[in-house]
């Protein structure tokens, strides 16, 4: 009965995501939001979100005049948003419309979650709600942002920042990273993985990774980390170490570290820990209630280590994660 009741609530009152589209908005980030929050999910069995687009004008000219958006709701739609995605635009020095800033402030005051992709952090800061808060944006605007909004704790070399009720992402594909992070936060790792498979996109890139890597595509095929990563993912329950990975790749630990930094923007240890936490989340979601077993099967060692690393990685203890995303949670 509790499962049926929870499912009924989900069907009648899903979490509502509203995206504000304003003049000169970027189509790419709009597409990311639509793909992650707006598409129907028959493979999951229910829709994850109630998705709406709105604009302050009946006709909205998108970035560089690529196309004109019409037929969406007006800003009144923001009043019912549980999550509000604010507009972004490449001409960051252009002031946002007062009506848009007012809508963002109202949403924040009533407790809605706010999301800024790419230059969306400028919208949030201009609305006056980022002072003293952590945020990020595309690296090319870091200096301009810091000069204009010195009270904001700007983080330059990260993919995204989760500051609780305000989340911001760096440029372009980082919008997908943040979107999947939000899905994971709302619905758990299994559903986030399902969405990422449909996107054909990496299921878990930590927000603390660098915005760009030194060499997106390796110069030599045999320097690709893909085979090593695939092997490691299959052996997380064993004592996989950074030195062991280096030995398997037939390189020194220092060389392996450089390749991880160049190709993934993170360290081997951080990647291993992230993969183990993600596996732990999946095991708990699938019904494994013995945390010592979860710790052992993920290579995290002890239940105490599992608790510490899960809390650091997800913001939840294993017990709280099970209560929220386990089979009995509906």
pLDDT in tens, 75-132: 999 999 999 999 998 888 888 999 999 999 999 999 999 999 989 999 999 999 999 9
Question: Across all residues in the chain, what is the average pLDDT?
Answer: 85
Q: How confident is the model at residue 222 (pLDDT cuts 50, 70, 90)?
A: very low
Say how far apart CA 243 and CA 307 lie, in whole Å: 25
Q: Could you give the 3-state DSSP secondary structure of residue 272?
A: helix
201's tokens: 């996109």
- Name the pairing type of β-strands 134-135 and 160-162: unpaired
Q: Predicted confidence band at 190 (pLDDT cuts at 50, 70, 90)? A: confident
Task: Dump strand ranges (E) for 75-159.
Answer: 83-85, 113-117, 134-135, 153-154
Residue 46: pLDDT band (50, 70, 90) is: confident
Percent of the chain with pLDDT over 70: 88
Q: Is a pLDDT exceeding 90 seen at residue 300?
A: yes
Most confident listed range (4-18, 58-72, 219-233): 58-72
Question: Residue 205 pLDDT more than 70?
Answer: no
Domain boundaries, the chain: 2-199, 214-330
E strand spans, the chain: 16-20, 50-54, 59-61, 68-70, 83-85, 113-117, 134-135, 153-154, 160-162, 166-169
Tell me the pairing of strands 166-169 and 160-162.
Answer: antiparallel
Residue 329: predicted pLDDT = 59
Residue 328 is predicted with a pLDDT of 66
What architecture is the 214-330 domain classified under in CATH? Answer: Orthogonal Bundle (1.10)
* C-alpha span between 289 and 153 (Å, rounded): 39
Question: With bands split at pLDDT 50, 70 and 90, how would you rate the model's confidence at 252?
Answer: very high
Phi, psi (rounded to 5 degrees) for 259: -70, -40
What top-level class would CATH report for the domain 2-199?
alpha beta
Has residue 203 got a pLDDT over 60?
no
């Amino acid at each position: 009965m509790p499962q049926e009741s929870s499912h009924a609530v989900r069907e009648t009152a899903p979490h509502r995501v509203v995206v504000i589209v304003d003049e000169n908005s970027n189509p790419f980030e709009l597409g990311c939001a639509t793909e992650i929050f707006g598409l129907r999910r028959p493979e999951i069995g229910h829709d994850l979100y109630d998705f709406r687009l709105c604009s302050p004008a009946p006709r909205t000219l998108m970035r560089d005049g690529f196309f004109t958006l019409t037929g969406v709701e007006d800003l009144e739609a923001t009043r019912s948003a549980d999550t509000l995605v604010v507009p972004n635009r490449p001409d960051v020095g252009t002031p946002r419309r007062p009506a848009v800033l007012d809508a963002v402030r109202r949403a924040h005051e009533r407790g809605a979650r706010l999301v800024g992709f790419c230059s969306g952090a400028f919208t949030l800061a201009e609305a006056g709600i980022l002072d003293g808060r952590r945020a990020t944006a595309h690296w090319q605007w870091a200096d301009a942002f810091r000069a204009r909004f010195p009270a904001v704790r700007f983080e330059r070399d990260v993919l995204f920042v989760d500051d609780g009720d305000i989340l911001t992402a760096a440029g372009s594909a980082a919008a997908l990273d943040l979107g999947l992070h939000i899905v994971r936060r709302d619905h758990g790792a299994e559903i986030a993985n399902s969405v990422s498979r449909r996107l054909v996109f990496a299921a878990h890139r930590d927000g603390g990774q660098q915005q760009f890597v030194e060499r997106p595509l390796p110069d030599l095929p045999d320097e690709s980390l893909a085979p090593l990563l695939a092997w490691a993912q299959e052996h997380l329950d064993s004592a996989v170490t950074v030195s062991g990975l280096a030995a398997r790749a037939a390189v020194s630990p220092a060389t392996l570290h450089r390749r991880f930094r160049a190709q993934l923007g993170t360290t081997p240890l951080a990647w291993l820990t992230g993969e183990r936490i993600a596996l732990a989340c999946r095991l708990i979601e699938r019904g494994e209630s013995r945390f010592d077993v979860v710790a052992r099967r993920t290579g995290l060692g002890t239940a105490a280590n599992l608790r510490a690393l899960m809390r650091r990685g997800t913001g939840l203890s294993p017990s709280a994660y099970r209560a929220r995303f386990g089979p009995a949670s509906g």
